[in-house]
Amino acid sequence: MNTVIKSFSMFFISCFLWQTAVFADENKSELNTTSVEKIGEFLGAKNATHPQWFKESFLDLEEDIAEATESNKRLVVYFWQPGCPYCDQLWSDNFAEQKVVDDFRESFDVVALNMWGDREVVNVGGNTYSEKTFAEALGIKYTPTLLFFDENRKVIHQLNGYVPVDNFRKSMDYVSGKHEKESKFSEFSVLENRQTSVIKNTSLNSQAFFIQPTFNLDKNNSPDKKYTAIFFEAEDCANCDLLHQKTLKDKTTLALAQQFTAIQLDRYSNVNVITPKGKSTTAKQWATDLGVEYLPAMIFFDPNGNQVMQIDTQLRTFHVQSVFDYVLSAAYKTEPNFQRYISKRADRIRETGVDVDIFAY
């Protein structure tokens, strides 16, 4: 009898333990499922507060240019998008000084276009677009983007993305002073930098992934099939310091950067360089030829030596990573709209349960 009771008890305990184990596994599975299904947060988006003094326009750009010319001004077409923190930074930071506001209003009329909008725009030459198809036709990659027109209806200067107020003032001075008649903005900007800069930091920021001289980047018959990234920087460049001390300290950013053949060049140096297309030049001349107007500038070339992307604006960590990934994955071949690529990349990251902050360092 005792043997029977003992056997039954052991059977009951075994069943109980088995059910407990199954229940625990089911709970574990449920927890795992829940964690996978958790969507990361989307952080950092901010809607710009636009000033009320924007031009009231019927969005016929020829008419707007003519009206600006009559008022001894020049037209600025400003592309923005909802949730763009860089657009907000432009108006909240760069226009925080009343003198900037006054000087800008005295010299320019501003027409604002939503790069995803549906309003009808009549371009120079009479072609009609919606706001979003106009942005696509112009290849707008960043917001804010500002196009500066002259009296002859030509774009004489373009700001692709946010730049700090000192850089922004140079663009204002260049266009309002009609200096395009004398030089390219990249040359004007170099002169301005050298006249106003007091050199403090006499060396460039170093990174272990930068290749050392000599700088022979010729891709003709080269076995190197990697993408090339050129970092144009300068001594005493606060924005360059920010890139190295913040963005490139991030492990994800660093891992992406290390996949390039990466070259660091002093934008003002006469060091010899052979470009990816085999041309012999200097760092200073190459930067001017490429239209480098903001530092740090990062310019990317494919394994055949063709330029595929350029960063010449102040971007924070997520957007720098997105440019690196856009190039390395060759996504630019199938998704020409960089803003759509950014949105899809953010969604993919959030689907893994990771938060995305588009405006953090």
Residue 260's domain is classified under what CATH number?
3.40.30.10
So what's the pLDDT on residue 186? Answer: 85
Q: Are residues 163 and 245 in the same domain?
A: no
Residues 43-91 have pLDDT tens digits of 999 999 999 999 999 999 999 999 999 999 999 999 999 999 999 999 9
Does 311 map to a domain? Answer: yes
Q: Are residues 114 and 239 in the same domain?
A: no
Does 353 map to a domain? Answer: yes
Instruction: Quote the mean pLDDT of the chain.
Output: 89
Residues 289-346 have pLDDT tens digits of 999 999 999 999 999 999 999 999 999 999 999 999 999 999 999 999 999 999 999 9
CA 187 from centroid of its chain's CA atoms: 23
So what's the pLDDT on residue 11? Answer: 39
Q: Are residues 89 and 136 in the same domain?
A: yes
DSSP notation for 205-241: PP-TTBPPSPEE---TT-S--S-EEEEEE-TT-HHHH
Rounded average pLDDT over 269-297: 95
pTM of the model: 0.86
Percent over 90 (pLDDT), the chain:
81
> In terms of C-beta density within 10 A (0-12 exposed, 13-18 middle, 19 or more buried), how is residue 69 classed?
middle
CA angle, 210 then 163 then 190, to 5°:
70
In the structure encoding, which two tokens stand for residue 308, read together? 């595929």
Domain that holds residue 115: 61-178
So what's the pLDDT on residue 202? Answer: 66
Number of domains in the chain: 2
Residue 146 has pLDDT above 50, yes or no: yes
Does 249 map to a domain? Answer: yes
